[in-house]
A and B are shown apart, each in its own frame.
Chain A
Amino acid sequence: DAGVIQSPRHEVTEMGQEVTLRCKPISGHNSLFWYRQTMMRGLELLIYFNNNVPIDDSGMPEDRFSAKMPNASFSTLKIQPSEPRDSAVYFCASSLGGGQGVYEQYFGPGTRLTVT
């Protein structure tokens, strides 16, 4: 398996523009997670899905952020409009299971977003 695939790997955009980050989880995994990593705040869980359904989006910073998972093999994280403080590395991760399962997560390589 190729692992979790994220695109693009790097994104540079101007403030106010729309940004869409993409993720393909490992085949057969039914949980998907979006994280953001910054020096100041560390790794933050933004949202996670189980069986394509958003379970907890309490980590999404504000209404400018939205995430979708239209099917088991694809998810997007959208920022509209983007702001300089959104600059970070965004990771997607997937895992088996749900409920009170005990599973490890597999991370993608991340998308480094720079908003100027």
Chain B
Amino acid sequence: SQQGEEDPQALSIQEGENATMNCSYKTSINNLQWYRQNSGRGLVHLILIRSNEREKHSGRLRVTLDTSKKSSSLLITASRAADTASYFCATVPLSGGYNKLIFGAGTRLAVHP
């Protein structure tokens, strides 16, 4: 069963604009991770945020985590056509261990030149 739910399901923007994707989850987590999947390819890890962190940056990516609301957001600034992909949040539950990831349904991002 899916733990995370992404919002929106699809997002279409112009190059240079910012893209914000949200993720909500249900149970307590050890950490939350964001992955990107280009069409027909495997998933690629983008960023990991631990449950005791509130914000993290990596290049044009900014991730926030609000454990009280059980939600996270991924912001891509100054988007490029190459950012077109599906983006998934994945949670590692606090119980169960072993780095087990539970994925959301994903957000399909289209960046138009």
Contact = CB atoms under 8 A, between A and B. Distances in A.
Given A42-B104, A105-B45, 9 more contacts: A4-B42, A42-B105, A50-B98, A93-B42, A93-B43, A102-B99, A105-B99, A108-B42, A109-B42
A102 B43 contact: no
Interface residues of A, number: 28
Contacts of A104: 33, 45, 48
A48 B98 contact: yes
Interface in B28-48: 30-31, 33, 35, 41-45, 48
Most A-side CB within 10 Å, residue of B45, B92, B99, B106: B99
A91 B41 CA distance: 10
A75 interface: no
B97 A100 contact: yes
A105 B96 CA distance: 17
Interface of B: 2, 30-31, 33, 35, 41-45, 48, 50, 88, 92, 96-106
Contacts of B43: 43, 91, 93, 105, 107
Interface in A17-59: 31, 33, 35, 42-43, 45, 48, 50, 55-56
A99 B42 contact: no
13 contacts: A33-B100, A35-B103, A42-B105, A43-B106, A45-B103, A56-B100, A101-B98, A102-B31, A102-B92, A107-B42, A109-B41, A110-B41, A110-B42
A95 interface: yes
B98 to A, nearest CB: 5
A98 B99 CA distance: 6
A55 to B, nearest CB: 5
Contact of B44 (A43, A48, A95, A107): A107
